Structure 1
Amino acid sequence: MAEADRPAALARIREIKVAGPDELDAQLRSSTAPFVVRGLVADWPLVHEGRRSPRAARDYLQRHARDLPFAVSVGRPDSGGRLFYDDGLAMNFQMLRAKLPEIFARIDASEGTADAHAIYLASIDLHQFFVGLHEANHVDLGGRAPIASIWMGTQTRIAAHNDVPDNLACVAVGRRRFTLFPREQFRNLYLGPLDNTPAGRPVSMVDFHNPDFAAHPRFREALARAQVAELDAGDALYIPSLWWHHVEGIAAFNVLVNYWWRETPRWLGQPQDALNHAILALRDLPADEKAHWREMFDHYVFDNDTAATAHIPEQARGILAPLTLESAGRLRAFLLRALSR
């Protein structure tokens, strides 16, 4: 990269201290920006085993693993750990299934080997695939009912993406670098396909290790708003809903445990599904019709004020009234019938 192309040093993600679960809960409720808590999970047994050695951490994980096949991504030796697309926009990694001892044996065999295959187990459900691991290694998140997942593997680079839920990411073994961007930076990240993605979410097409500013000039604007943190074992990072994050596992072996939760009810629909349906139903309409539907969406969805319902008797407002579990279920059933025609 030419000197003129080098970005200025990125801002650091702010760090806070919390004295216990109540203070953590208050910070999670009030914060609209990311923050780091150093040492939040330093007392986990998994963290202690990882400090002994990567193999000790793997042995500890195997003792808790269920006898089930795990989904594992295996990258190409020349990928530099970047799990991404190839030149034809197919994935540059294979998805395989194997039991954890077999996967860890392959990591053992490649440890210290130059240009080894990247091996990555992503978003593994802690309760489904392990016995007692969550109970021995978890964060008290109060009344939240989060999804708890574990991410394990060798050195990897995961393209910038975002998630709908809020996220508390806890480094248990190794070291990770996170580069975060506010929600509104999506245009400057040059997102790839919506329906052909490495893991279900659209990702930035920019190679953060070697950005091509000729092809992606607005990425400079994204970098001006970026925040970065390097986390050691025991540290945790809060990533607010929809913030973009590029994640690198930079030790030889890395383990992260994360918690996803939404403050909205789980029975609400997924916004990405609505976007996909809008592409199907609206994007290719004539311009005047799209303008009309934009106004309709503003009226019923984004503004969502009394002008849409004041003239309708309260008992007859149907889905225009605040949704409940029952009315959301009826709406979902209606949509399924409509989409199946």
Structure 2
Amino acid sequence: MINIDQKVAEHVCSGDSELSKDILLSSKPLVLRGLADSWPLVTAEKTSHAAFLAKLTEYHSGEPVVIYEGLAEEDNRVFYNKDLTGFNFQPAQCDFSAFCNRLVEHKKLLYMGSTMVDRWFPKLRSENPISLTGIDPLVSLWLGNQSRIAAHCDFPQNLAVVVAGNRRFTLFPPDQLENLYIGPLDYTPAGQAISLVDFHAPDFSTYPRFEEALKNAVVAELAPGDGIIIPSMWWHHVEGLSQVNGLVNYWWRTSPGYLGNPMLALKLAMLSIGQLPEAQKQAWRSHFEHFVFNNSDEHLAHIPRPQQGIAGGIDETQARQLRAELLNKLNR
């Protein structure tokens, strides 16, 4: 098990406090102690796991849920099999009450991944409210036993609230990508590329740069009612420390949705640029630096503002036109 001394910064919340923009848009991880202490879900959990699961069942729509069950008792990671040709779990549809009954004593990995709250638990948000003024997040619920989610990053800004059990978050800045040994982009256990390093038993001979990543890591342990801001693109490994662990996630973009997901741009660049001759790749690097990563207005000062086109900024109309152009050309 890795040992990390540097802790995530903390902010103590009062029961009725509204989260400021500075908190919600924090560029570094931030623990929000006591954020959801007054939630009925958290109050029930502080009585017992059984009371928590009973309260959660009250919110459930009755629709079956998708769960993941581990294939090997000794590994509670949501991960690949040994040769990365498959996964170490199998998915199944399950009655939610039956899943809860199994959860309290199951030894292998048992896990309900990102499940949309508004569809499967429609009363949860109204009875466990949080003030996120000006933000319309996507809200999901995670529920499992002592499962481990390998380090990964998400494009949206993320507020995660622990509602059952204790969780350990280990986080790395975006620039640690190279030191985390990321697996395949197009074949992943849960939609996002993950670190292949086992945080419980890191193999430094196979993954030597992981030692450098650990020098830049921060860690936080959260109890029921605590929240944490995970900024966009920060890598995070999440571990459930209790037999029953529940987490509510709030995801939102800080840019308009019509601008699309940057991961699509990365994959398209890999398709169209990644296998060019080296001299051509370096030429395209200059284009990206000039047109994408240059935050100065000076590089376009020689073009009248109305004629700068997409280089000068993209509104919703331009985004739709550009998307249609790209789709048309990609489908040829």
Match of 2:220 among 213, 226, 229: 229
Q: Distance in 2 between matches of 1:69 and 1:23?
A: 34
Aligned to 1:99: 95
1:27 aligns with 2:23: yes
Q: Distance in 2 between matches of 1:269 and 1:50?
A: 38
Change (3 A) 1:145 1:23: closer
Contact 2:142/2:248 (8 A) holds in 1: yes
Match of 2:117 among 96, 121, 126: 126
Aligned to 1:137: 128
* CA shift digits 1:246-274 (9 cap, x unpaired): 00011000110111112111111211111
Q: Distance in 1 between matches of 2:282 and 2:103?
A: 55
Contact 2:13/2:33 (8 A) holds in 1: no
Counterpart of 2:35, as a letter, is L
Match of 2:160 among 169, 173, 181: 169
Give the count of matched residue pairs: 330
Counterpart of 1:217, as a letter, is P
CA drift of 1:21 comes to 3.8
Q: Distance in 1 between matches of 2:81 and 2:112?
A: 20
Q: Equivalences for 1:62-77 in 2 at 5 Å? A: 62-77=57-72
Ranges in structure 2 where 5+ consecutive residues have no aligned partner: none
Identity of aligned residues (%): 42
CA drift of 1:212 comes to 0.4
Contact 1:10/1:224 (8 A) holds in 2: no
**Secondary structure of residue in 2 paired with 1:12:** coil
Q: Distance in 2 between matches of 1:146 and 1:196?
A: 27
CA drift of 1:285 comes to 0.5
TM-score using structure 1 length: 0.91
1:220 aligns with 2:236: no
Of 159-168 and 261-270, deviating more is 261-270
Contact 1:181/1:225 (8 A) holds in 2: yes
**Secondary structure of residue in 1 paired with 2:83:** coil
Change (3 A) 1:22 1:103: closer
Of 299-308 and 240-249, deviating more is 299-308
CA drift of 1:287 comes to 1.1
Q: Distance in 1 between matches of 2:331 and 2:298?
A: 33
Q: Equivalences for 1:32-111 in 2 at 5 Å? A: 32-89=27-84, 90-108=86-104, 111=105
Q: Distance in 1 between matches of 2:136 and 2:277?
A: 44
* CA shift digits 1:113-172 (9 cap, x unpaired): 5xx231111111111111211111132111111111111111101100011111111100
Change (3 A) 1:261 1:21: farther
Aligned to 1:3: none
Aligned to 2:236: 245
Change (3 A) 1:32 1:24: same
Match of 2:310 among 313, 319, 325: 319
**Secondary structure of residue in 2 paired with 1:333:** helix
Aligned to 2:251: 260
**Secondary structure of residue in 2 paired with 1:11:** coil
* CA shift digits 1:271-318 (9 cap, x unpaired): 111111111101111111111111111121111544554444444433
Contact 2:19/2:131 (8 A) holds in 1: no
* CA shift digits 1:170-208 (9 cap, x unpaired): 100111011011111111111111111111111111000
TM-score using structure 2 length: 0.94
Change (3 A) 1:22 1:48: closer
Change (3 A) 1:50 1:77: farther
Contact 1:62/1:101 (8 A) holds in 2: yes
Change (3 A) 1:170 1:204: same
Change (3 A) 1:155 1:327: same
Q: Distance in 2 between matches of 1:311 and 1:219?
A: 45
Contact 2:110/2:144 (8 A) holds in 1: yes
**Secondary structure of residue in 2 paired with 1:280:** helix
Of 200-209 and 48-57, deviating more is 48-57
Q: Distance in 1 between matches of 2:66 and 2:144?
A: 12
Q: Distance in 2 between matches of 1:78 and 1:18?
A: 39
Counterpart of 2:21, as a letter, is D
Counterpart of 2:250, as a letter, is Y
Change (3 A) 1:177 1:305: same
1:17 aligns with 2:12: yes
Change (3 A) 1:219 1:36: same
CA drift of 1:13 comes to 1.0
Contact 2:12/2:34 (8 A) holds in 1: no
Contact 1:174/1:252 (8 A) holds in 2: yes
1:193 aligns with 2:189: no
| CA RMSD, 1 decimal | 1.8
